[in-house]
Amino acid sequence: MSEVQYWVWPVSVTNWNIVKNNKIWATYSESATKKVRKGHFIVFYLVGEGVFSGSFRLINDWYENRELVWPDEYQENQKKVLT
């Protein structure tokens, strides 16, 4: 079993509410998906508020979701892809 890792991830208040209510998180960074793995913890930092808002332990590996979830995806009416 690998060592547990902790990651601090900045998040907007709007996106934090989605994370908290739906127990999901996403990234558009392919390099992040290679570093942040199942079993690791993400500690969320609220941008503009200057506080840590919560933490979650990843219970699944990253996977591609085809549903629109985030406000910028709804605004552009398209799913963001890994870069």
User: How many whole angstroms separate alpha carbon 1 and alpha carbon 39?
Assistant: 10
Residue 75 region by backbone torsions, left for phi larger than 0, else alpha for psi between -120 and 50, else beta: alpha
Tell me the pLDDT tens digit for each residue of 39-69: 999 999 999 999 999 999 999 999 888 888 8
Tell me the pLDDT tens digit for each residue of 1-11: 568 899 999 99
